[in-house]
Amino acid sequence: MMMNSRSLALLLSAATLIAAPGVAAAQPAAPQETSASGDAAKRADALVDKAKRLYLGGKYEEAEATLMSAWELNPTFDVAYNLGNTKYQLKKHREAAQYLSFALRNWPLLKSVAKLKPTAEQRLAESRAQVGAVTVAASAVGAEVLVDGQVVGRAPLEGEVFVEPGEHQVEARQQGYAPASQTVRVEKAGTAKVELAMVPLQSAVAEAAPGANAGAGESAPGAGAGALVAEQPPAGPVEPAAPREERSWVPVIALGAASVVGLGVGVGMTVASNSASADGRAQADAILKAGGGCPDAPPAYEGSCADLRSTASRVDTFGRAATVAYAASGVLAIAAVTYALWPRQQAMASGEVRALPEARIGYGGFVVQGAW
């Protein structure tokens, strides 16, 4: 914020105040990014010098009016501080709080004015205790904010809006949005928080659309007796959509568990078949080493040959069982995955035909379904 040396001198010598444009709810304008023109700044300095003399002479009303003119010309920190102190002397606590809070938010980092800050803080606290405050947040950035019909700034507002204790109407308006408002009650020395959610007009129109055509088939009031009213043909009965089949995970779990059991049985049968095959080889080797043979076996080897034939039968049985178990495990696993991933479809309508995959032990294919 820019502040020339003359304004600073007036500030220090008068030990005065700060303020913003007088509004029953209006906040001081934000500090300007660039200083006022040289001519405006000089005229503001002259007004501040005049206000200092009026202030020191106890003519606070005249000093207030003079400082308001200076503020309009050059809204700087020193003018605001002086104006706030004048409002304080006049016991206009709400306005004093608004201007003093503005001054403290924009207080410069200068040692020369640091000694004045405690005074501003004390007078703000005293004024704040006599009034209430409202903090306003509007969802649309740049929305115009009003309190009791008076414009106080645009969202997002900086600082609080000071109000007299009681009930107040807070509004937000922005082009392209539906206005939003809220009524709040503010206690003395209290603060009310207002959050205004602003809905874009397109959304607001869409929400109102269902009832927009409610009277489309009725003639407008005052229409002539011969006026023609366009009528839309009645819509035919609409068959409600069939509910979608709900997916149940119980079959997936059951099929998956059965697939695991089948795989376990297959592994067990394979181990048993391999073990029986090893026994058969050992028995055949023993018979051969003894010089015997099972085809046309002599009486001495009939028992050994019978055992060998029994072992061979077990090897074949276990092998077949393992093959069947592996096949069943695979089919069950495919069925579980297919059930889990296959899209759920609605109930079949009349004339609809579907082809669904089907897997069974020993073969696979498609099942054709239809409804008529």
Bridge partners of residue 144, in order along the sequence: 154, 173
Q: Look at the domain 131-198 and name its fold.
A: Immunoglobulin-like (2.60.40)
3 state DSSP class of 78: helix
What is the pLDDT, as a whole number, of residue 117?
93
Cα separation of 350 and 369, whole Å? 12
What is the pLDDT, as a whole number, of residue 169?
96
What is the pLDDT, as a whole number, of residue 164?
96
Cα separation of 121 and 112, whole Å? 17
Give tens-digit pLDDT for 30-83. Answer: 444 445 678 988 999 999 999 999 999 999 999 999 999 999 998 877 888 999
Cα separation of 37 and 185, whole Å? 42
Residue with token string 């051969």:
288
What is the pLDDT, as a whole number, of residue 60?
96
Region 205-212: mean pLDDT is: 58
Joined tokens for residue 363: 């073969």
Cα separation of 173 and 56, whole Å? 43
For strands 132-138 and 191-196, give the pairing: parallel
What is the pLDDT, as a whole number, of residue 331?
81
Alpha-carbon dihedral sign for residues 338, 344, 348, 351: negative
Quote the DSSP letter at residue 301. G
Give tens-digit pLDDT for 7-39. Answer: 444 553 344 443 333 333 345 654 444 456 789
Q: What's the CATH code, domain 1-129? A: 1.25.40.10
Is 162 a residue whose pLDDT tops 90? yes
Residue with token string 């003079």:
66
Joined tokens for residue 366: 């498609």
What is the pLDDT, as a whole number, of residue 19?
33
From the number of C-beta atoms within 10 Å of its C-beta (0-12, 13-18, 19+), residue 208 rates as exposed
- Between 74-78, 103-107, 163-167, the lowest mean confidence (pLDDT) is in 74-78
Q: What is the mean pLDDT of the chain?
A: 76
Confidence of residue 150 (pLDDT cuts 50, 70, 90): very high
Tell me which of 128 and 18 has the higher pLDDT: 128
